[in-house]
Structure 1
Amino acid sequence: MEHHEERDGPLAEAVALREGGRREEARERLAGLAARWPDDPEVAYQTAWAHDVLGLEAEAVPYYERALADATGRLAPDDRRGALLGLGSTYRVLGRYEDAVALLTRAVGEFPEDGSLRAFLAMALYNTGRHHESVALLLRLLAATSEDPSVRAYRSAVEHYAEDLDATG
């Protein structure tokens, strides 16, 4: 990723403000950086996040979308994953359930090892009335990730029933 001396310092300062709890000040600074560097996916992602943590979901959407439109691959994979989760969750909060399902389905395909993406996809599926798919996805996630010994003891049964929730044996 190419770095701009004029951008990197102020971006790091704004992120530090957000992380330090000075969220509104961080949002203002990041919005200024996003206006100055509208095609910078990292600035867009950090600006989206700054809006999101303040409950400004609708205002966060265009920044998330701008970050994810990055065709140059400049957005680090972990930031891309975070932007996909942030935007999918934000679509869901805003009642844009089908958009959330579409985006999170794509995100799970891109980052299949990320359980949080699958959990948010399950919520969005639930919101679209796809309850069977939602529960099956959650059961598979539970079977794959639970450290609870009582769940682990029944992992194969849980995985089996996740594939066919109507089965009784």
Structure 2
Amino acid sequence: MNGHTRDELLAEAIRLRRQGNPEEARRRLLDLAAEHPGDAEVAYQTAWVHDVLGLEAEAVPFYECSLTGSGLSEEDRRGALLGLGSTYRILGRYTQAVDTLRQGAAEFPDDGALQTFLAMALFNTDQHHEAMQILLKLVATTSEDPYVRQYRRAIETYAQDLNDTV
């Protein structure tokens, strides 16, 4: 591809996406993905640009490829798990969304976004109790609201069992 290295082509496509030209980035990433079919980083960036364009169904195989391959940085793996789980959810593939987001939350327990998206997917699968537990714990541990902080211990206690009235 024009004598440029894979890294140069990938960097250029990412730059195009960031600068608001996702369609051109998509064309370049599809070419790069075809040339490097097992490349996890290329697959992840290709999935991402499809998501940006609202092409969720087309993003899925690229996300899946990025997670089965090796070579993703920890941050990109985190993003791929969230992206795939969220995309499954958007497509109504709720069980796959829960499984993917649960894996992401287990691998990255400090990631509030993964926990939030997991709670949404759990809601979609009628697992409301667990969804509320996750969100209450997240609010209790991350809120800067002084009133939430004042009641943090109570919120954390009730998050353990929402049916407890004592």
Q: Partners of 1:10 and 1:164 in 2: how far apart?
A: 52
In structure 2, what is the equivalent of residue 13 of structure 1? 12
Determine the structure 2 residue equivalent to 1:22: 21
Distance across 1 between alignment mates of 2:73 and 2:57: 24
Aligned length: 163
CA drift of 1:168 comes to 1.2
Matched residue SS, 1:168: coil
Distance of 1:6 and 1:159 partners within structure 2:
51
Task: After superposition, give the CA deviation of every residue in 1:97-120 in whole Å (9 maximum; x if it has no partner).
Answer: 000001111111111111100000
SS of 2:20's partner is: coil
State the Cα RMSD in Å: 0.8
Separation (CA, whole Å) in 2 of partners of 1:80 and 1:14: 19
Match of 1:155 among 143, 147, 152: 152
> Quick one: percent identity of the two aligned structures?
63
Give yes or no for the alignment of 1:35 onto 2:34: yes
Alpha-carbon separation, structure 2, partners of 1:149 and 1:38: 50
| 1:8 CA displacement | 0.7
Normalised by the length of structure 1, the TM-score is: 0.95
Amino acid at match of 1:119: T
- Please list the CA deviations of residues 18-62 of structure 1 after superposition, one character each: whole Å capped at 9, or x if unmatched: 000001111111011000000110000000000000000000000
**1:6 Cα offset (Å):** 1.4
Aligned to 1:106: 103
